[in-house]
Structures are given as C-alpha cells and as structure tokens.
Structure 1
C-alpha cells in the first residue's frame, strides 16, 4: 500500500480558532487521507507558543517563532494557516505569498473585496495556492444536503431559506481596542458570523455555486451600538428563479444549540440543526402531508452527522493538503471567484447598512 502523504503546516496565531484547527489536524484517524504535521507556530510570545503546542499538539514538536516572517521563510513549511484577526489577513497573506508559501486564510478572507482581489492577483503572479478557510463548505453534511436539494430535489423547488447566527457579546463593556469593537479590526456581526448565514442561503438556493453563480440582488439593514454594527438582516433575491434567502446575524444574543437554518421547498422543507451557524450537526427532512385532511408536515428522516471527527476542520485541512500535493492553485470547493463574490455581497450589505471600515 502507498504511504499516506504528509504536509507540514505553519500556524500563524494562537487564538481559539487556531487551537480548534490544530486540535483537528492532529486527531488520530483510521484511513486518514493525509498526515498533518505542525511544523512551526508563530505568535507574539515564545512561552505563549510553547503553551499552545503543549496543549493542542503535544505529540509534535513545532518550531516556535515570535517573528512571523521567520515562519514564512521556514523552508520546512508547506502551507501557512492564517488564524489572526480579520484586519491582518491581507498583510500576512501577501507576506506568505511573497515567500512562496501556499496559504489557507481564515474567513472572512479580508475586510472587503478589493483586498481579496489584491491577494489573488499576488498569488496568481507568484504561482502559489491560496484558499479561504470556509470550513462549512467542506463538511460532509453540506455535501449531502446539497446533493439532496439540488440533484435529488428532495423538497421539490427550493424557494426560500432562513438562516441566522448569533453571539452574545457585551460590546459596551469591551475596550476600544477589542476586535469586537474596533471598526479598524473589522468589528461587527456580519464579517464574524453573518458570513455563515449568507453561505447557508447561497449553498441551498444556488445549485451552481461555487462556479457560474448568479449574483443575487441585496436588500440589507444594520443596527449599531457604540458605533459598531451589532445586527444585520439581509434578503438575497435570485432574479432568475425568484428564490429568496433571509440571512441574519447579531452579537446581541446567542440562542445556543438550535435550528440554524430552514430551507423551504415546493414539496417540503429541511431544518438544519447545530451548535451555531458554523457547526451543523444534523438536518431533518419534512414532507407535505399526503392528503388535504392532514395539516402538519411529516418528518421523514433525520440525517445525523454528530459523529464527525473533532470540530469539523479536518475536512478543509485534508482538501487543502490534497490540493497542494496535486499542484492546484485554487480550491474547487471555495475558488477565488466565490470568495470574491461573497466579499462583494458583504460590501454591498455594509454599504446599504452603513458600516464603513477605514480600509474601504
């Protein structure tokens, strides 16, 4: 049997998103597609990096850097994972690309579409792989859901999707330097969690995503606290089909595990359940009653993905590694054009809602 291929990761940042990502990379998995090696970690303090490694990848011995550029220049690193706050994505993507490194950059890819296009232009010139770490799109649950909706048409014609994602953050109690409060750092619910609500609408209503996708009309409104957007509500209208997505996000409330999205179709509907918009665990199929005398829709089947390994990052990690090993320059699941399109949608939502970032 052929040996399992391996890739060596450089991890930029040691916040919670990086900890989740690394924990998943080092999971013991039977029949793993790729062996993931945590080669290097770059963070603001050496001891901080040591503690991170000891806690989240204790069986490996990564090099710890305080200088991010040293990680980019590390010849033993194949792919750089960027898990720092939104506002720094462009800077470090460009630095990694300049060093010739493949990049998996956390969502939101950048603060606006202009920054995203700059990164992709640089990656194209340098000939390196770059992808947005939209882990939701890589999940087996999502792949099965889209197969049932768009190929098997299990609920008939999907005509409407509701999706919501909320966090409970007391913005007023935070210092002005907090990433949740500083517009210069991309503060607001939209980029942090609203991107997932938008993604659910796109995934369930647009059968052609991520290629050849229709650009929906946007109708949006936003509310603010302490000068920061705390609630966004968006309608996406697909003119060719009349389909509508209602995508909402807020930092005012977290309702915990619940139905995170609902897809209405001509023959039934689907409810997606999970811990939040980014962490679906299952979805349930409801069909129209067989006779007019029956009033309630009937749950036909529940598709349970709660046994998925770890938190779900391993799927995007495997796909990124396999892309890199195959010499690809883009992800087929989240190609550059789709990242740019979602950034453009969020730019328009912010324009209508009144959110402005200094880089705009």
Structure 2
C-alpha cells in the first residue's frame, strides 16, 4: 500500500507542553511502518507567539495555522481531530469544546480527573457521533501486542498469577511553585494520574486476557505531601487469587527492568526507559536459556496510536478496540478508588 492509499488525518494540537511536542514530532517522522498519513493542521495555544515558537521548534519544514486560543482551533474547518495535551484538569472542558465543534478527539491520559468527568465526556461524544479515545499510547506498541499474545494466547509462561510494575520519576515537589501541575491538586497533581496509571495499566494487561471483563478488589495506600500523592502503592486482588502490585513514586527513578510477570512455568521481565516506553522483554522458562525480544522504535512511538485512530475514523468507528471508552471508564473508576483509600483528593471531586 502506498502513502497515497493510506488513511489521512488533519490534526489540531491543543496545548504546547512537552507531551504535545513529543506527539507532533512523532507524527512527522518519515518511517517505513507508516499506517496513516498525518498532517499537523493547526496549533492552539494561549498566545500566537507561544504557538509559533512551538511550531518552529518541533515542526521543521511545515507551517501549521497558529491560533492564540483553543476556540479558534476548534472552529477551523480544516481540522478533523483535536489532540489534547493540556494538564489533566483541563481535559474535560477541552474535550467537550472540541466535541461540540464536531471534532474527533484524542485526549491524553489520564483522560479526566475522575470517573464522573469521563462519563460526561463520553456521553457528549456519543451525542455528536464523533470518535473519541484516551491517548494511552503504550497499549499500541507492537511490543505490548506481542507480549499479550505470548501471555494470553500462546500461554508461554503458563497461567499468570502475579505481576509487579513500578514507575518512579524523581520530582522535588517541595521546591516547585504551588501553580505547578505537579503540586496543585486542582490541576490533578500527584504520582498516580501522571505515572501510576502506567503501572496500573501494565498489571491489567498482563493479568487480564480480555479487557473490561473483571473487577479486582483494590487495596491502596498513598504518601501525601503538600496535598498531593508523592508515592502510591496498589494491590489488585482477583477472585481466583491472581495478584498485581502497581506502584509509583516521585522519590526515585525506576530501574530499566520495571515490570515482572510471573506464571506457572516461567516469568517475563519488561525493560525500558520507563513503564511508558518499553523497549524489550525477556522470557525465562524453567531450565531454559532466557529469550529476549527487542523491538525497533523510531522516535518515541506515539504514531502507533495515531495510526490506529486514523484507521478507525476512516472505517467510520467512534471508538477503538484496544482503548475503548468502557476501558477508560473502568480505569478511572479504579483510580478514584485508589485515591479514596489513599487520601489524595481534587477540588473537582466535590463538584
């Protein structure tokens, strides 16, 4: 299939922070495994100057339309889909505004601050019949797809009974201004929504063969400093005895072997820069030499989720099979319960 035969999508980017810079850079990579053609049509920022600086730094050779407000981007008829890369607390309103302008939406994780907000956004998307998905990009990595096949289809390590995953990212919370998204509860601050969601995702992907079908018991604790969780530990207990431990912390950096999956005849260790960016995994069966699987990844890997979105929209779908709306709601429900037990609260929880 030539590039001209691939699905094509024109993106509007809302937010000009780090995650948006990674996303647009990945979409403009010239790669052999391209599944769709992507155009960065417009950039929406708090000012035209800020948007222009973002484009000049991250979009060499291409000049998108620059808007000094998000509303102008939503109303651009050339924008087909809006990518939301703003802090967690703004996701709900950004998504609602884009949906009401008739745009498809790809919204960064965590999708919203809580389950209630997520349900509101999805209901609005259904009403406008637009595509919507949480941008949990790691789920779309070929590495993750291969790993799930080996675990749940091929039963390479037998029946999985225990999983442990950690995401540690050093942050000196005390030194940050109260306005920082890492420190202000109103912005969804804390390790759980920022990085703990990845640990939780790995546990679920490794323990569950089918998404949205199981509800584990949650046992959680959090360390709260400056009204935000700087460390979270979660134990998921399943009725048949399977257990998953998901942890996150701002106190230290997780080693490269961030996840361990244990089965009845062997184990798997997943390696990478962090739980969000896996690069390889190693299978160790009893009395056998370890076998390592490595995967090529030009850029960072955001294009795999973007390709999936373009293919779905071209097919007339309004949600994705790998990251469907019900799965996002289930994850948000678990995150809410973890915070309820651990003590981290957002002002929006009381609305």
Maintained 8 Å contact 2:47/2:69? no
What is the CA-CA distance between 1:300 and the residue it aligns to?
A: 2.5
What is the CA-CA distance between 1:55 and the residue it aligns to?
A: 1.8
Q: CA 1:43/1:345 → structure 2, altered by over 3 Å: closer, same or farther?
A: same
Summarize the alignment of residues 73-112 of structure 1 with structure 2, pairs less than 5 Å apart.
Answer: 73-112=75-114
What is the CA-CA distance between 1:34 and the residue it aligns to?
A: 1.1
Distance 2:210 2:238 in 1: 12
- SS of the residue corresponding to residue 275 of structure 1 reads strand
1:88-132 deviation per Cα after TM superposition (whole angstroms, max 9, x unaligned): 000000000000100000000000000000000000111111100
Maintained 8 Å contact 1:160/1:264? yes
What is the CA-CA distance between 1:31 and the residue it aligns to?
A: 5.1
* Correspondence 1:266 to 2:268: no
Summarize the alignment of residues 315-334 of structure 1 with structure 2, pairs less than 5 Å apart.
Answer: 315-334=304-323
* Correspondence 1:158 to 2:156: no
What is the CA-CA distance between 1:278 and the residue it aligns to?
A: 0.2
* TM-score computed with the length of structure 2 as normaliser: 0.97
1:216-267 deviation per Cα after TM superposition (whole angstroms, max 9, x unaligned): 100000011122110100001111x311000000111114x51110000000
Structure 2 equivalent of residue 246 of structure 1: 245
- SS of the residue corresponding to residue 194 of structure 1 reads helix
* Correspondence 1:222 to 2:212: no
What is the CA-CA distance between 1:5 and the residue it aligns to?
A: 2.9
Maintained 8 Å contact 1:106/1:132? yes
Distance 2:32 2:178 in 1: 46
Structure 1 equivalent of residue 276 of structure 2: 278
Summarize the alignment of residues 96-245 of structure 1 with structure 2, pairs less than 5 Å apart.
Answer: 96-209=98-211, 212-239=212-239, 241-245=240-244
- SS of the residue corresponding to residue 154 of structure 1 reads coil
Maintained 8 Å contact 2:113/2:188? yes
Structure 2 equivalent of residue 43 of structure 1: 45
* Correspondence 1:304 to 2:302: no
Maintained 8 Å contact 2:192/2:248? yes
Structure 2 equivalent of residue 293 of structure 1: none
Distance 2:301 2:241 in 1: 33
Distance 1:224 1:355 in 2: 7
Maintained 8 Å contact 1:9/1:78? yes
Distance 1:281 1:31 in 2: 17
Q: CA 1:27/1:126 → structure 2, altered by over 3 Å: closer, same or farther?
A: same
Distance 1:288 1:31 in 2: 35
Distance 1:227 1:70 in 2: 35
Distance 2:294 2:33 in 1: 21
Distance 2:243 2:289 in 1: 24
Listed as ranges, the gaps of 5+ residues in structure 1 are: 290-297
* TM-score computed with the length of structure 1 as normaliser: 0.94
Distance 2:220 2:128 in 1: 37
Maintained 8 Å contact 1:37/1:60? no
Structure 2 equivalent of residue 359 of structure 1: 348
Distance 1:228 1:252 in 2: 13
Match of 2:339 among 337, 350, 353: 350
Structure 1 equivalent of residue 18 of structure 2: 16
Q: CA 1:40/1:205 → structure 2, altered by over 3 Å: closer, same or farther?
A: same
RMSD: 1.1
Larger CA deviation: 39-48 vs 199-208: 39-48
- SS of the residue corresponding to residue 200 of structure 1 reads helix
1:1-45 deviation per Cα after TM superposition (whole angstroms, max 9, x unaligned): 662332100000110100000000000123522111000000112
What is the CA-CA distance between 1:299 and the residue it aligns to?
A: 4.0
Structure 1 equivalent of residue 303 of structure 2: 314
Listed as ranges, the gaps of 5+ residues in structure 2 are: none
What is the CA-CA distance between 1:327 and the residue it aligns to?
A: 1.1
